[in-house]
Chains A and B, each alone.
Chain A
Amino acid sequence: MSATQNVTTRGPAAVEKESGESSAALENTARETEAVLIPAVDIFEDAHQITVQAEMPGVSKEGLNVQADRNSLLIEGNVTLDLPTGISAFYADLRSTRYRRSFTLSGELETAQIAASLKDGLLTVRIPKRAEFRTRKIKVEVP
Chain B
Amino acid sequence: MFESLLTSFDTGSVFDEFRRLENEMAQLFGHSPWPAGIRAVGRGTFPPINVGATPERIDVYLFAANLEPKSLDISIQQNLLTVSGSRSVEVNEKAQYYRRERFDGDFRRVITLPEDVDPERVEAKYRDGVLQITIQRHEAARPRQITVS
- Residues of A bordering B, CB below 8 Å: 1, 3-4, 6-8, 10-12, 15, 19-20, 24, 27-28, 31, 40-47, 51, 53, 55-60, 79-97, 119-122
Check A41 against B92 for contact (C-beta < 8 Å): no
Measured CB to CB, the nearest residue on chain A to B20 is A85
Assess whether B30 is in contact with A92, with CB atoms less than 8 Å apart.
Answer: yes
**CB-defined contacts of B23 to chain A, threshold 8 Å:** 11-12, 15
In the bound complex, residues from chain A placing their C-beta under 8 Å from that of B21 are 83
Chain B contacts of A15 at CB under 8 A?
23, 26
Distance (whole angstroms) from the CB of B127 to the closest CB of chain A: 7
Please judge, given known A-B contacts A24-B4, A27-B3, A44-B95, whether A83 and B52 are in contact too, CB under 8 Å: yes
Does the CB pair A87–B29 fall under 8 Å? Answer: no
Q: Chain B nearest CB: distance from A37 CB in Å?
A: 9
Which of A8, A12, A47, A55 meets B65, CB within 8 Å? A55
Partner of B29, one of A10, A60, A96: A96
Q: In the complex, A84 Cα to B50 Cα: how many Å?
A: 14
What residues make up the interface of B, taking CB atoms closer than 8 Å to A?
Answer: 3-5, 9, 20-21, 23-32, 34-35, 37, 40, 43, 45, 47-59, 61, 63-67, 89, 92, 94-103, 111, 114, 126-130, 132
Question: B24: which of A83, A95, A96 is its contact (CB, 8 Å)?
Answer: A83
Residues in B neighbouring A3, C-beta threshold 8 A? 34-35
CB <8 Å contact, A44 and B9? no
Are B29 and A121 closer than 8 Å at their CB atoms?
A: no
Q: Which chain B residues lie closer than 8 Å to A120 at the CB level?
A: 65-67, 126, 128-129
Q: A43-B97, A57-B129, A58-B128 are in contact. Are A97 and B56 (CB under 8 A)?
A: no
Q: Do A81 and B32 touch (CB < 8 A)? A: no
Q: Which residues of A contact B31 (CB under 8 A)?
A: 11, 95
Cross-chain pairs A/B with CB under 8 angstroms, 14 sampled: A1-B114, A4-B34, A7-B30, A41-B101, A42-B102, A43-B99, A46-B92, A56-B65, A57-B47, A57-B129, A81-B28, A89-B29, A120-B67, A120-B126
How far is A127 from B41 in the complex, measured between Cα atoms in Å?
36
Structural contact, B132 and A91, CB atoms closer than 8 A:
no
Once the chains are docked, how many angstroms separate the CA of A60 from the CA of B126?
A: 13
Q: Are B35 and A41 in contact (CB under 8 A)?
A: no
B52 touches A87 (CB 8 A): yes
Q: How far is the CB of B110 from chain A (nearest CB, A)?
A: 12
* Cross-interface CB contact of B49 among A83, A88, A91, A97, cutoff 8 Å: A91
